Chain A
Amino acid sequence: MKRKSRFKKLILLGAFMLPGSGHLLFKKNIKLGIHLLLGTIAIVLLVIFRWDRFINTFQSKAVDHWVAAIFIILSWLFMAFISVKHTCEFLSDKMQKPRIKTPLFLASRRFKENKLAVVSLYVICIFYLVAVLAPFLATHDPSAIDNVLETRYQSPSWEHPFGTDEFGRDLYSRALYGARISLSVGLLAVLIAILIGTLYGSVAGYFGGFIDNIMMRFVDVFIAFPTFFLLLMLVGVFEASIVAMILILGLTSWPGTARFIRGEVLSLKEKQFTEAARAIGLPHRTIILRHLIPNGISPVLVSAAMMVSTMIYSEAGLSFLGIGIRPPIPTWGNMMSSGKDALLVAWWVALFPGGILAATMLSFNLLADGLRDAFDPKVLMRRFL
């Protein structure tokens, strides 16, 4: 009996030190186990190869290094926690609870059938991880300028996988740091847009009549502006810092979402569950927030994935024109802008940031495609619009 408990402790220790080992040992939920194990190996490799930077982090004041280091530690702890928890369940031999087939579960199962969408989800996750861990993954300081005459416009090599730019800065490292701007601007702007758009559209659709009319006319006006001209104007009026950029992008793109959700709400509010909610005297706020929005949100999520790609594109475009986020801060857009000037001497300066940008946008569009099929199998026919 005592030996058995020691054995258990050993397994638990193993599951803690090497997340995922428990899953593989008991041959249960092997997929999750492999993911945990790969994550662990990635972390271990990263820490070993960048040991000096990892250690130096805790003496430095660079915020992004701290964030990256804390992220690594937290993700380790998180994986270890899951691993130990599951291993405990395996050890105590509890029956696993049968899965309830909620709509979300069914949707996720349909999503997993779409291989391209799953791959693109992985790609997106990896991009975001890379963006967070940029300080540890970069091979050079993104803004280090050495002897410019010798180091400028070096073509891609082992030392500089993406080559160097006109100041001899390593483009690979700059692309990694650029990813953080592009990806976070895209995500945050979409969050703002979705939040405003959903509330606005559902209120308009729910109350209908005069209020709806007024509110939607305003949306019509907003949609009539060609996005890029509107962005140009706003960027011209306000100084384009990163925060301003997020706000400008977010505050200009909610009308599309509002239209979407309004349409959904218009049909949902005729359904019986809304009537029932009204009959038991729920306030409007509760009906909108708890009943209408959750039921009508799936097309919004699909459009959100596409919107992230558009936002990233817009930010890159503005920076490319030299009026978005300005050069000392690397973004894919302004890297391409310097690539445009150097097109005749150094093709790699424009090629790589743009290629990554295209890959990101493609991943989000594929993700949107997969989400659309997952949420509504009926509209398989009407993809892309």
Chain B
Amino acid sequence: MWRHILKRLAQAIPLIWGILTITFFISHMAPGDPMDMYLEQQRQRQVDPEIIELLRQKYGLDLPIHVQYVKWLGNVVKGDFGESFRYRRPVLDLIAERIPYTLQLTLLALLFSTSLGIIIGIVSAVKQYSALDKGVTLGSLIIYSIPGFWMALMLVLVFSVYLGWLPTSQTRSMDYEFFSWGQKIFDRLWHLILPVFVLGVGSAAHKARYVRNRLLEVMNEEYILSARARGLKEKMVIFKHALRNAMIPLVTILGLHLPALLSGSVLIESIFAWPGMGTLAVGAVGGRDYPVMMATLMISAILTIVGNLLADITYVALDPRVSYEKKKPV
């Protein structure tokens, strides 16, 4: 087991190196160097060419590209992502501020979508080919196809603007500071309902179909037949025998859904004015804040890899049939 985990970790390292490299080269594909971008922002002021030269030297932009690359890589490994052009603060601090909000949103959405998906999946598998099953199948495809940001707008329109039940945006109320401890938690959850729902519901639809199909596959297995032959109740067969076996691959799906959730969170965050990594990235693109752009891209990718790694390890831990030594068939 530990050998397997170590092996996976060792495989993740070149992957992360690749991510850093690609990020670096994308940012240097731009016409002009980051200094030009920086100056373009400050275009109101005329900048002395000598100062530009000094700034170039300060940021190491006068060096040949491979030297820059090695230096940059060294800094990143040390956790130094540079300084934001816009906020004039270390990028790492900015991201450390934002990342809890994004994780809060995505992890809750993951939880929500998984539980909803499993429930709906079980129901439609048990009642296979019934009207309910067909309705759920079509309905989940429809929900899956609705763009999340549009759904968010429409839900805000209905539940916040017309009904006034839920807040339109932000993570907390204006008078949050004066709330008691319990009210604070309640207020936070209150503000989480819409974004988490919108972010999670699409992948819940996906998972429901997945669980349904997996469950139906497992129901054909021989151990289910033997469980039935022993005269177990149908409930017992489904929950104790079929479901447990059907759930295992879902762990992998959870890992695969993480990048989609992170991607989706960009749009959802910007609709709900959620101070997460997505809004940070969008703001950085708008302001051409190169260090922040690079850092958000890298960190979102590294989060994805960590997520997949966790899913992989859990998978092996849950399913004793997968041997640790042999490579899993892809």
Within the complex, what minimum Cβ distance (angstroms) separates B165 from chain A? Answer: 16
Is the CB–CB distance between B286 and A322 below 8 Å? yes
| A interface majority secondary structure | helix
Is the CB–CB distance between B210 and A233 below 8 Å? no
Within the complex, what minimum Cβ distance (angstroms) separates A122 from chain B? Answer: 17
| B interface majority secondary structure | helix
Interface assignment of A78: CB less than 8 Å from any CB of chain B? no
Which of B145, B146, B266 meets A228, CB within 8 Å?
A: B266
Which of B26, B147, B157, B216 meets A316, CB within 8 Å?
A: B147
Report Cα–Cα, A381/B30, bound state, in Å: 46
Is the CB–CB distance between A354 and B154 below 8 Å? yes
Within the complex, what minimum Cβ distance (angstroms) separates A100 from chain B? Answer: 34
Interface assignment of A283: CB less than 8 Å from any CB of chain B? no
Interface assignment of A82: CB less than 8 Å from any CB of chain B? no
Given contacts A233-B297, A237-B30, A381-B213, contact A357 B285 (CB under 8 A): no
**A-B pairs with beta carbons under 8 A, tally:** 153
Closest to A385 in B: B210
Is the CB–CB distance between B153 and A336 below 8 Å? yes
Closest to A216 in B: B330
Is the CB–CB distance between A320 and B149 below 8 Å? yes
Which chain A positions have C-beta within 8 A of B154? 350-351, 354
Given contacts A235-B285, A339-B153, contact A321 B15 (CB under 8 A): no
Is the CB–CB distance between A237 and B29 below 8 Å? yes
Given contacts A224-B301, A237-B27, contact A354 B147 (CB under 8 A): yes
> When each residue 247-290 of chain A gets 1 if its CB lies under 8 Å from chain B and 0 otherwise, what string results?
00000000000000001000000000000000000000000000
Count the A residues whose beta carbon is within 8 Å of the partner chain — how many?
51
Is the CB–CB distance between B15 and A358 below 8 Å? no
Given contacts A320-B267, A365-B141, A384-B213, contact A225 B282 (CB under 8 A): no
Is the CB–CB distance between B294 and A233 below 8 Å? yes
Closest to A323 in B: B285
Is the CB–CB distance between A236 and B293 below 8 Å? yes
Interface assignment of B113: CB less than 8 Å from any CB of chain A? no
Which of B26, B150, B278, B286 meets A237, CB within 8 Å?
A: B26
Which chain A positions have C-beta within 8 A of B304? 224-226
Closest to B144 in A: A365
Which chain A positions have C-beta within 8 A of B14? 217
Given contacts A224-B301, A226-B301, A381-B213, contact A347 B157 (CB under 8 A): yes
Is the CB–CB distance between B206 and A224 below 8 Å? no
Within the complex, what minimum Cβ distance (angstroms) separates A119 from chain B? Answer: 12
User: Which of A64-100 touch B at CB < 8 Å?
Assistant: none
Count the B residues whose beta carbon is within 8 Å of the partner chain — how many?
57
User: Which of B240-269 touch A at CB < 8 Å?
Assistant: 258-260, 262-264, 266-267
Interface assignment of A13: CB less than 8 Å from any CB of chain B? no
Q: Which of B17-25, B74-82, B83-91, B181-189 contacts A (4 or more CB under 8 A)?
A: B17-25
User: Which of B196-250 touch A at CB < 8 Å?
Assistant: 206, 209-210, 213, 216-217
Which of B26, B209, B282 meets A323, CB within 8 Å?
A: B282
Is the CB–CB distance between B145 and A362 below 8 Å? yes
Interface assignment of A218: CB less than 8 Å from any CB of chain B? yes
Which chain A positions have C-beta within 8 A of B293? 232-233, 236
Closest to A222 in B: B22
Which chain B positions have C-beta within 8 A of A382? 213, 217
Is the CB–CB distance between A343 and B267 below 8 Å? no
Interface assignment of B300: CB less than 8 Å from any CB of chain A? yes
Is the CB–CB distance between A323 and B286 below 8 Å? yes
> When each residue 276-318 of chain A gets 1 if its CB lies under 8 Å from chain B and 0 otherwise, what string results?
0000000000000000000000000000000001000100110
Is the CB–CB distance between B23 and A233 below 8 Å? yes
Which chain B positions have C-beta within 8 A of A226? 258-260, 262-263, 300-301, 304
Within the complex, what minimum Cβ distance (angstroms) separates B253 from chain A? Answer: 8
Is the CB–CB distance between A344 and B161 below 8 Å? yes
Is the CB–CB distance between B206 and A357 below 8 Å? no
Interface assignment of B73: CB less than 8 Å from any CB of chain A? no
Q: Beyond A232-B296, A385-B213, list 7 extra A-B contacts (CB 8 Å).
A: A220-B18, A225-B300, A226-B260, A228-B266, A229-B263, A365-B144, A385-B210
Q: List A residues at the B interface (Cβ < 8 Å).
A: 116, 217-218, 220-222, 224-230, 232-238, 263, 309, 313, 316-317, 320-323, 336, 339-340, 343-344, 347, 350-351, 354-355, 357-358, 361-362, 365-366, 369, 381-385
CB pairs A–B below 8 angstroms (11 shown): A217-B14, A221-B19, A226-B260, A228-B266, A232-B266, A232-B297, A233-B293, A233-B294, A235-B285, A354-B150, A365-B144
User: Which 4 A/B pairs are nearest by Cβ-Cβ distance?
Assistant: A354-B150, A221-B18, A228-B263, A236-B285
